[in-house]
Structures are given as structure tokens and as C-alpha cells.
Amino acid sequence: MTSLGERIVAAVLDSGIAEREEIEGCSEREITRVESTCGVVLPSGYKSFLRHLGRSSGDFLRGYTCHYPKILAVQSKVERKFGEDGVDPTFGESEYVFAGSQDVTFYYFDTQNPYPDPPVHVFAEGYGDPEKHAESLSDWLLDHVEKQSNSSLDDFLEM
């Protein structure tokens, strides 16, 4: 059976968003460091993403803070930033922020969810309460592959 990370790598390569040599995964030691630093046990689907694309994914997810080692600081950055602004994004101890965009939008999942491919929620500064954004991490990732590949094609056609 193909893992989540393998499916995302294949989709990224097929879309042309990245070349194989631009994609680098995390080691098991680095994944363990993410878990220990953030105080969570990560779901197997996300660990698979980290194993295959955790350090670098070429242009895929460009603009997001989601690669190792920068991802180690995202959770505390969210808590610090919103604490200073007097905003409570209501992240629980089991919620793990796996991607941030421009320090105002953060994507997370609950590590206590029993599924290996958990639903993704989003919190965006100034947009109210956190909400469910995707049915699963794989849906979120594949949606980004599609958006980025369509965006690149649209940009090319406009030239």
C-alpha cells in the first residue's frame, strides 16, 4: 500500500511543481525531535509526509512555514503571537500546528484524533473562531498540489 507521503511526492512530481532532487524527507530522529519538542505523538499520515517531504518540497507549499527545522518553532510562535495580541486561538494541548502562512494563518490537527489522516482545521487572525478546513491531511495536501499546479498553468497561459 502506498503511504500518504509517497502519494504526495508522486502528485507533486506529476504536476511539475518540484523536481525529485528538490524533495527531501526528515530522518526518524528529526521526526522524534518534532514530537518531543511539541509534546505530541504525531499521526502516522503526517509522519509519512515528514519522511518524504519534511525538509524540502521544491515549490510545493512555498510560502508556508511547514518544513523541518522551522516547523519546530511554529506552535510556540502561534501561542506567543496571539497571546501578545490578546487573541485566544483556543489550541488545545493535543492540537499541532503543521503549517503557517505569513504569520496570520495557521493549519493544525488534533493529535488525539484516532485516524492516521486527521481532519485539518484553520485559524486565521481576524477571521473569528478556528474552523474545519479539510476532511483530512491528505485532502489538504492534494488540494494544494491541485491549486499550485493550476496556478502555474494559469500564470503560464497569461504570458
d(CA 13, CA 17): 6
d(CA 149, CA 22): 16
Strands 95-101 and 64-65: antiparallel
Strands 95-101 and 105-110: antiparallel
Tell me what the mean pLDDT of segment 114-128 comes to.
Answer: 89
**pLDDT above 60 (res 158):** no
Domains, the chain, ordered by start: 4-158 (3.40.1580.10)
Query: Is 118 or 129 the better-scoring residue by pLDDT?
Result: 118
pLDDT digits (tens, 9 = 90+) for 56-85: 999 999 999 999 999 998 887 777 766 665
**pLDDT above 80 (res 154):** no
Query: Is 48 or 103 the better-scoring residue by pLDDT?
Result: 48
End-to-end CA distance of the chain: 41
| pLDDT over 90, % of the chain | 71
pLDDT digits (tens, 9 = 90+) for 6-49: 999 999 999 999 999 999 999 999 999 999 999 999 999 999 99
Q: Which of 26-30, 89-93, 110-114 has the lowest mean pLDDT?
A: 89-93
**pLDDT above 90 (res 150):** no
Q: What is the pLDDT of residue 15?
A: 95
The amino acid at residue 131 is: E
Q: pTM of the prediction?
A: 0.90
Q: What is the pLDDT of residue 118?
A: 98
Q: What is the pLDDT of residue 34?
A: 96
What is the chain's mean pLDDT, rounded?
A: 89
